[in-house]
Amino acid sequence: MTNFSPDDLHGYIAEHSAELLDLIKTLCRIPAPSNDEGARAAFLRDWFLTRCGSEEADVIVDGALNVIYRLNYRADEDVSIFMAHTDTVFPDLTPFEPEEREGRLYCPGVGDDTTNLAMLMLSARYVATRKVPSDCGVLFVGNAGEEGLGNLKGCRKLMEDHAGRVRQVVSFDGRLGNLTNKAVGSRRYRVAVSGQGGHSWNDFGNSNAIQILSEIIVDLYKIAPPAAPDGPTTLNVGKISGGTSVNSIAETSEMLFEYRSVTQRGLDIMERKFREILERRRGEAEKIEVELIGERPSAGKLDPTAQETLERKAFEVIQSVTGKAPKVRAASTDCNLPLSLGIPAVALGGYRGSGAHTRGEFIDLSSLSEGFEVVLRLILRCMEA
């Protein structure tokens, strides 16, 4: 059993409540767009080195900009990974300033995933200073590249570097009361179309890249996405661009397109239909180029007992602390990668709030102590032999 008492745990949470809020605000002020997380990574590295009770703390920053605090670590032994992502969806490199009002803290990225990251950091300090035992190595990770075109680069690096040794993965991502246990896989493409182009009057009748792309989009939305047992599955054109002026026939146009499914078969069906549409339209264009810009796998073959054990621990901790059963759901998270490799994994969060991925995002400050307890308790449960 873990080396702590409920009174000690509650005392630690209460003692560090102000520090938690201050840490959230500090992290909010450090820009961390996907693929540009270096400043926040440097802060995490220094924090782990100075705040976790030992000047010889085992902290590394790997090639993907993951910040990894290692406890009881041996290169040839199993590890449990507890992680929260450092990146946000916002491209800004100018620091944000969080604003506290009416019991809420407002800031882009404050919930997704800054609050969960701060809770992970303070939980790591509890484990380190209390010398909580474990029967395998423990990695506390501020991981890079979870959002958008970060394409799970941080988690990919973790799975590669610890291949065959990962016992379980818990990702702290999302709001309090949700529990993700299934992976929504996806593939994301940039499709660029070239037409003849020309002057809108003199060259009328030349092929127009915008028209061709529009017809491709119409074709895509005529697809009936696979349902169970091969789904649910979705598709989306999220961005289109192209052309030169109102009196020019467009030479080029492009779109960003993705499809998602909870099954590998659903992804493969969508891939086939997507490619068939492009092939039908190729004769109308000068050129159609397709670039895969992101891929997240669905779940692979899991040991049902190991996965159910981890899910049960998370479910029981959330229900015990909040008094309510969590909402269990499928989602696209860092857990996609371990689940695709057959590694037990769940994702859950430690705050209540709203507005994720918008500039009006906020967290409810009254939820922090409860959420912090969920994060810390689950880590301790997962470290039990």
CA distance readout (Å), 147 to 76, 144, 348, 360: 31, 9, 16, 18
State residue 2's pLDDT score: 47
Cβ atoms of 219 and 276 within 8 Å: the answer is: no
Handedness of CA 167, 144, 350, 236 (dihedral sign): negative
Digit-coded pLDDT (tens) for 20-39: 999 999 999 999 999 999 99
Query: Exposed, middle or buried by CB within 10 Å (0-12, 13-18, 19+), for 39?
Result: middle
Give the global pTM.
Answer: 0.93
Distance CA 58, CA 181 (A): 30
- Please tell me the predicted confidence (pLDDT) of residue 153: 97
Q: What average pLDDT does the segment 237-246 reach?
A: 97
Exposure string over 91-115, b if 16+ CB within 10 A, otherwise e: eeeeebebeeeeebbbbbbbbbbbb
Compute the mean pLDDT over every residue in the chain, rounded to the nearest whole number.
Answer: 96
pLDDT digits 0-9 by tens, 154-169:
999 999 999 999 999 9
What is the pLDDT at residue 4? 67
pLDDT tens-place string over residues 286-299: 999 999 999 999 99
Contact by Cβ (8 Å): 249, 198: yes
Residue 190 identity: R
DSSP-H helix ranges across 221-263 = none
Q: Average pLDDT for residues 46-52, to the nearest whole number?
A: 93
Look at residue 136 and tell me whether its pLDDT is greater than 80: yes
Cα 103 to Cα 13, 16, 29, 125, 136, distances in angstroms: 19, 18, 20, 27, 40
Beta bridge partners of 295: 187
Per-residue confidence band for 3, with pLDDT thresholds at 50, 70 and 90 = low
Please report the pLDDT score of residue 130 as a whole number: 93
Residue among 27, 16, 47 at smallest CA distance from 87:
27
SS3 164: coil
